[in-house]
Amino acid sequence: MAVMGRDENRNLQESYGGGPAASKLQVFSDWYESGMNHIWLPYSQMKTASPPLAVTHTDGSRVFLAEGGDLVDGIASWWTACHGYNHPYIREAVESQLSIMPHVMFGGLVHEPALTLARRLAKLLPGDLNHVFFSESGSVSVEIAMKMALQFFLNKGVTGRTKFLSFKGGYHGDTTGAMAVCDPEIGMHRMFTGSLLPEFVAPLPVDAGSIAELSRILEAEGHQLAAMIVEPLVQGAGGMRFHEPWVLRRLRAAADRYGILLIFDEIFTGFGRTGTMFACEAAGVVPDIITLSKALTGGTLPLAATVARDHVFEAFWSDNPDHALMHGPTYMGNALACAAANASLDLFEREPRLDQVKALSAAMMRELAPCRELNGVKDVRVMGAVGVVEIERIDDLNGMRRRFLEERVFIRPFGNVIYLTPAFTIGPKELARLTTAIVKVVGEMI
């Protein structure tokens, strides 16, 4: 990515409402221009990608820019900031913990924020999901879940169960093991097909044909499988694809029939995003292992959890040291992150978050409905605090992103979908700015 020049930067910033840039540019030009020569950005072709916007601070559902002006954030920083940015209660909890103990290793030592969080998560989750293993990112939590599943069978003396089954359209992270269970054909990691350990991929069982295909794969390969992994209700980065709760009940039944562990990847869907605290609640299904991250800390600090049911944990409970789960991230159970997560759970208890999600869902359904009448729109769908406009084809993705910036909103379409995953606390006027921008830009560009 070429470093953004002063004129280009000024023009881009002024396009979304910033004032004259000359006086403000000097404030951040040194750190921006020198730093951009060394940073490697996510999911970006650095040579051709548009320059990123410089952000100075955030508040509620707004991102404030170095050149002046602000954007209404429609995606809550990759679906994390469920309470909005800079919630004072979470900020105070982190500040308090910072003054006492920001971090201590989790090997041989524990602390109150982590143990309290583990207890609270076990109480919130359905069934006997009672055993919490902390890490720092969603991808790593998936790796840990896969490792648990493999070792579960090894510890029980069962050999040959070394494979995983995932689903078309699925995405589970960017680390090597997680990439192996993403969609190998349409996913962002398809170029690694052949370089990763081969796993089985099936269609989600949503109709008679896909149900038959899944049954065929399980009948032929079930004896090799340690686990199947799925994003419940919404396949996020694979295209914001929705499926019905009964699909999860079918997967639970199939896992039980073939003696396979069932892993729910709730990194995106957990903590209210689909309308219930966890997506698995809508189906009345308890997975054997669940992964959590993103909104766990309310969008403040990196933290993830892999939570196992009693029978999974018991396979590791042994006098044999080889049966231990040999995994331990350096920042596992970070005290600052756990303090933020506990504060976030307090807010779910004290403030009407799920009611806000219900109202947000109804508002997005109503305000995005005009898109149904526009040429090139394939589908408009809403589940909880996820709103999606699916387009037949987006010819100029970067151009559409720039056009949203001109409307003073931060919306990041990908593939053929434009989506909203705002903070649950977003105000009606801010939401209207997002939905109005989508209707307007789709009408212009599609």
Catalytic residue (one of 7, 43, 123, 310): 43
**Sequence-ordered alpha helix ranges (H) in 229-382:** 245-258, 279-283, 310-314, 335-350, 353-368
For residue 390, give the H/E element and its range: strand 386-391
Task: Tell me the angle at which helices 335-350 and 112-124 cross, rounded to the nearest 10 degrees.
Answer: 40
Q: Is 429 a catalytic residue?
A: no
User: Of the candidates 139, 179, 138, which has an alpha carbon nearest to the alpha carbon of residue 304?
Assistant: 138
Taking the C-alpha atoms of residue 87 and residue 85, their distance in angstroms, rounded to an integer, is: 6
Q: Which amino acid is at 81?
A: A
Task: Indicate the SS3 state at residue 24.
Answer: helix
For the chain, the straight-line distance linking the first and the last C-alpha, in angstroms and rounded, comes to: 28
Q: How many CB atoms lie within 10 A of CB 384?
A: 23
Instruction: Report residue 405: phi and psi, to 5°.
Output: -60, -35
Both tokens assigned to 134: 């902390």
Both tokens assigned to 156: 């029980």
Catalytic residue (one of 24, 163, 168, 294): 294
Catalytic residue (one of 16, 85, 171, 331): 171
For 211-320, strand residue ranges (E) read 225-230, 234-235, 241-242, 261-265, 289-292, 304-309
Per DSSP, the residues of 401-431 read HHHHHHTTEE---BTTEEEE---TT--HHHH
262 and 228 Cβ atoms separated by less than 8 Å: yes
Catalytic residue (one of 70, 73, 183, 265): 265
Q: Is 294 a catalytic residue?
A: yes
Taking the C-alpha atoms of residue 305 and residue 142, their distance in angstroms, rounded to an integer, is: 9
Catalytic residues: 43, 171, 265, 294
